[in-house]
Amino acid sequence: MFRPKVPTMPQPTGLITPPAVVEPTAVIPHQDVTPTPVTPAPAPAAVSARPTVQLTPGTVVALVGGGTAVVLVVGAVLVSMLLAVAITGASLAICALVIRSLINTEAKQR
């Protein structure tokens, strides 16, 4: 029951690619050839292939609205996390006071 079983595959599934055939090539001995000096071509003028970004009033309003929405959402998340920590701290403080009161009243009764 606890021994792993290796699955067997009687026939392959899916596409089967034939093995690649490698043909030998002839080796040519190295010959000394003096390289000819190559003069670099002049660099073309710096023209950007990307179009320039044109901001219309509508896109500016959309960007400002999107940024405002992001700031408001992140702010709401952070404030809710801070509120959760504050509520947890207050409830722990109340629990500590109740437990201390119970321990003190039990000690006085003895």
Predicted model pTM:
0.44
Contacts of 63 (CB under 8 A, 6+ apart): 55
Mean pLDDT of the chain: 84
Phi, psi of 50 (to 5 degrees): -85, 145
pLDDT tens per residue across span 37-65: 767 776 666 666 777 788 899 999 999 99
pLDDT tens per residue across span 64-91: 999 999 999 999 999 999 999 999 999 9
Q: How far is CA 32 from CA 26, 28, 29, in A?
A: 19, 13, 10
